[in-house]
Amino acid sequence: MADEKDPSTPKEPAAGAAPVPTPPMTAATSPSGVQAAPAPRSNAATGAAAGAAPKPAAAEGVSRRGFLKWTTVGWVAFSAACTSGLVASTRFMFPNVLFEPPQSFKVGFPSEYTVGEVDTRWKDAYGVWIVRNSEGFYALIAVCTHLGCSPNWLAAENKFKCPCHGSGFYKTGVNFEGPAPRPLERARIVLSDDGQILVDKSVKFQQEKGEWTKEESFLKI
């Protein structure tokens, strides 16, 4: 646009428009200067003399360079708008607030638990079992490692059993029957400041990776 404002160089666009020898072409493609000049005239003449004369001038006023420039700007803007629309609608599918139980929660005081028992109180609400043995606590995540169903604790048979495909796990969480390929996962378990047990499901410990020996996978009391 900047060079089109300069009417003193009418030859410049003709040079830019390639060395086509035919006189009508050069006459037609000497626009930028011409375009700036007759435009006000045609505006002034709108009314009575709005005939054939200004019309071809406006039609021929689009230079190749200007056309390509605005086409590029148009396509870039269009692509940017499409991309941002796609990004925005993808982001729309990921809600900021979930109406789900929290990943990190307190499960009462250590004194509430009996040694040697699997506590199923928190399974429905948070999806974990709290197991108390003679040395301390661990939190087993109630998701079968086969295909993700919820196993049940069968106290009479002293094992976890998945109703979907029959995987069985010992009280420790180690698998021993059915299609489950690896032990149940344990969640981070620590004591909070008020003395209650704090379980954090966002931190998981997998036995087959040797993570059950890590500090926060087991709460020593």
Partner 1 sequence: MATAKPSEPFLSRTWDYITDTQLWKSVFRHGVPSTNRNRVLVVMTNVFLHLHPVKIRKSGIRLKFTWCMGGLTFFLFLVETFTGLLLMFYYRPTVAYAYMDIIDLAEQVPLGIMRELHRWGAHAMVISVWLHMFRVFMTGSYKPPREFNWNVGVILLVLTLLLSFTGYLLPWDQLAIWAITVGSNMARATPLLGHEGPGAQLLALGDVKMVHAGSDARFALLGGRFVGEGALLRFYVLHCVGIPLVAGILMAVHFWRVRKDGGISGPL
Binding residues for partner 1 (CB under 8 A): 93-95, 98-100, 127, 147-149, 164
Question: Rounded to the nearest whole angstrom, what is the least distance from the CB of residue 65 to partner 1 in the complex?
Answer: 40
Sequence-ordered strand ranges (E) for the chain: 104-106, 118-119, 128-132, 136-141, 152-154, 159-161, 168-169, 175-177, 186-191, 197-205, 219-220
Question: Rounded to the nearest whole angstrom, what is the least distance from the CB of residue 182 to partner 1 in the complex?
Answer: 12
In order of 57, 71, 81, 159, the CA distances from 78 in angstroms are 29, 10, 5, 61
If the CB atoms of residues 44 and 93 are measured against partner 1, the closer one turns out to be: 93
Question: Rounded to the nearest whole angstrom, what is the least distance from the CB of residue 165 to partner 1 in the complex?
Answer: 9
8 Å CB contact between 161 and 120: no
* DSSP code at position 217: G
Tokens for 2, please give them.
Answer: 């900047």
If the CB atoms of residues 63 and 207 are measured against partner 1, the closer one turns out to be: 207
Question: Rounded to the nearest whole angstrom, what is the least distance from the CB of residue 172 to partner 1 in the complex?
Answer: 23
If the CB atoms of residues 5 and 91 are measured against partner 1, the closer one turns out to be: 91
If the CB atoms of residues 34 and 144 are measured against partner 1, the closer one turns out to be: 144
If the CB atoms of residues 141 and 219 are measured against partner 1, the closer one turns out to be: 141
8 Å CB contact between 189 and 221: no
Question: Rounded to the nearest whole angstrom, what is the least distance from the CB of residue 144 to partner 1 in the complex?
Answer: 9
Count of alpha carbons within 13 angstroms of residue 85, beta-carbon side: 6
